[in-house]
Amino acid sequence: MPELPEVETVRAGLAPAITEAIITRVEVLDSRSLKRHPGGVEDFRQTLIGSKILGVVRRGKFLWMPLGLPADRAGEKQLALVGHLGMSGQMLLRTPGFEADKLTRVIIGVKAATGEVVEFRFVDQRIFGSLAIDQLEQTADGASGGFSAGVGQGQWWQNLIPSSAAHITRDPLDPNFDINAVLAKFAKKNSGIKRVLLDQQTLSGIGNIYADESLWRAKLHYDQPACSISTPKAKELLEHVRQILADAVLEGGTSFDEQYKNVNGEGGYFAVSLNAYAMTGLPCKRCGHPIKRETWMNRGSHFCPNCQKLKA
């Protein structure tokens, strides 16, 4: 489900509530949600209990929380709790005793800096998402690990990234995003532009919704080879990408159903702004031609066959 705007909405909801909170309780209801944690359930619990959450950082669709281990376990380990929402993950913040959320897989109880007790609930229908504890390492470029809304400046974890997310490149909302590096990658790729936009090692944060929306705005066909797009046109596409992601963040992301929720269990409002995704058969808002859906890479691609033509 979630792409950058949805994950950022979750990050922005978590950060003020649980930064500096101490983990007091960990309940793993379905160990499949820990499949990316190599140490198993007990190791996961023991590492977290007593640790402090130092911040909430995001790069692309990955979220992580650097951990301050209790004094008796503080060694050379620099660890973070890493979360990915997959297709259907949610991170909810509930007061203890709040009614059970269906499909809850992991509950982490924390005591906030204010003394308030909060339950972090990881809910995930399809279990493509995960929680894991991972080692932090230096970023490839030595700059910040990801986006944390300015929090974490000067902290030991600022320029670190979890090993499991180190292959993810910076996203268009990252202050250190390097547009020229992305344009250079486009120029070397013969693959269709949508495939390239979805490749988290070229630029990160884009998924099926925002890829279709960006291509609609730029009037590009999803299969147009990336290297065949002129640099000015590619720049224009990336500006649309950045704008759409930023606008969607302001709307709290895109919700169609029960799959995407913010930390309070509420949906986002960007769905009303969609022009291509989920618009199959409806008239294109530019030219009136019906939006088409084609099966592509085991998923759907939505586009206007009239204003997004494949060019030779």
Partner DNA sequence: ATGGACACCTGTGGGC
Partner DNA sequence: TGCCCACAGGTGTCCA
Name the residues annotated as catalytic: 2-3, 61, 299
Q: Are 277 and 211 in contact (CB under 8 A)?
A: no
Among 78, 125, 228, 275, binds DNA (CB under 7 A): 125
CA 290 to chain centre: 31
Tell me the HSE value of 154 on the side-chain side, using a 13 A CA sphere. 0
Name the residue nearer to DNA (CB basis): 21 or 106. 106
Rounded Cα distance, 121 and 164, in Å? 22
Residue type, 188: K
List the interface residues with DNA, window 79-118 (CB under 7 A).
84, 86-87, 103
Binding residues with DNA: total (CB under 7 A): 45
Name the residue nearer to DNA (CB basis): 20 or 251. 251
Give 104's strand partners: 123
Q: Are 291 and 303 in contact (CB under 8 A)?
A: yes
Rounded Cα distance, 54 and 73, in Å? 16
Site string for DNA, 203-242 (x = CB under 7 A): ----xxx---------------x-----------------
Among 230, 288, 295, 312, binds DNA (CB under 7 A): 295
Q: Are 256 and 277 in contact (CB under 8 A)?
A: no
List the interface residues with DNA, window 235-274 (CB under 7 A).
253-260
**Cα distances (angstroms) measured from residue 46 to each of 41, 136, 254:** 9, 18, 36
Q: How far apart are CB 191 and DNA at their closest, in Å?
A: 3
Binding of DNA at residue 60 (CB under 7 A)? yes
Among 50, 265, 290, 300, binds DNA (CB under 7 A): 300
Binding of DNA at residue 298 (CB under 7 A)? yes
Contact set with DNA (CB under 7 A): 1-3, 6, 32, 35, 60-62, 84, 86-87, 103, 125-128, 164, 167, 188-192, 195, 198, 200, 207-209, 225, 253-260, 293, 295, 297-300
